[in-house]
Amino acid sequence: MLESALRAQLVSTYAEMIRRGLNQGTAGNCSVRCSGTDTFLVTPSGMPLEAMTPQAMVLMNLSGRVLGEGKPSSEWRFHRDILEVRSEVNAVVHTHSVSATALACLRQGIPAFHYMVAVAGGHDIRCAPYALFGTQDLSTAALKALENRKACLLANHGLIALGSDLPQALGLAQEVETLAQQYLAARQIGEPATLSEAEMQQVFEQFHDYGYKENS
């Protein structure tokens, strides 16, 4: 996809995040890799949706340098680091969605209470330790929580979801938010039963046979 098309898709993805209630105001951010290069586009810092244009998206390289104009999201470091170390990932979505953030504020991840937890790539969805927003410490913590995973929570902060493209990353962010909402609802009644690793492995096998392909 051409850079111009990726710029437009990044704006529309951010708008869809707000439309779905995954973000409010200027919260959250997203990024996309520019195919065949060491560059990526990321949403700008503190810009409301109504001011966003394709031209306002910020182009950076994997060395962390802005190419051209604009101030990138304060969270550009974890976008850059994820895209640098995860070659299969081409898009990163970060939200402050209500239920996932509520769990993150408890510094708790999402266990295998429901088989759909497997869409994030593992037997659970981890919560990264707290680190100040916009710092390298936060990026390092996120990378650790994302090992062998496609999504994680960030303590006292929000969630990160990864994808091969922006629609896939956005879809996963929505799925994790739904799982967080279901998990919190179940906990109001009691402690949810969790699936064993063996049972979750059966889920992965069923996804493969069914053609699910982990949120594809």
CATH number of the domain within which 42 lies: 3.40.225.10
In a domain, 216, yes or no: no
In a domain, 215, yes or no: no
Cα–Cα distance for residue pair 72/66, rounded to 1 Å? 8
Count of domains forming the chain: 1
Task: Give me the tens of pLDDT residue by residue for the chain, a chain 216 residues long.
Answer: 899 999 999 999 999 999 999 999 999 999 999 988 899 999 999 999 999 999 999 999 999 999 999 999 999 999 999 999 999 999 999 999 999 999 999 999 999 999 999 999 999 999 999 999 999 999 999 999 999 999 999 999 999 999 999 999 999 999 999 999 999 999 999 999 999 999 999 999 998 876 545 444
CB 94 within 8 A of CB 133: no
Q: Give me the domain span that covers residue 73.
A: 3-210
Residue 199 is a catalytic residue:
no
Sheet of 158-163, strands arranged across:
58-61, 39-42, 29-33, 91-95, 158-163, 151-154, 127-128
In a domain, 161, yes or no: yes
CB 215 within 8 A of CB 163: yes
Among the listed residues 75, 84, 147, 175, the single catalytic one is 75
In a domain, 170, yes or no: yes
Locus of tokens 């586009």: 41
CB 187 within 8 A of CB 175: no
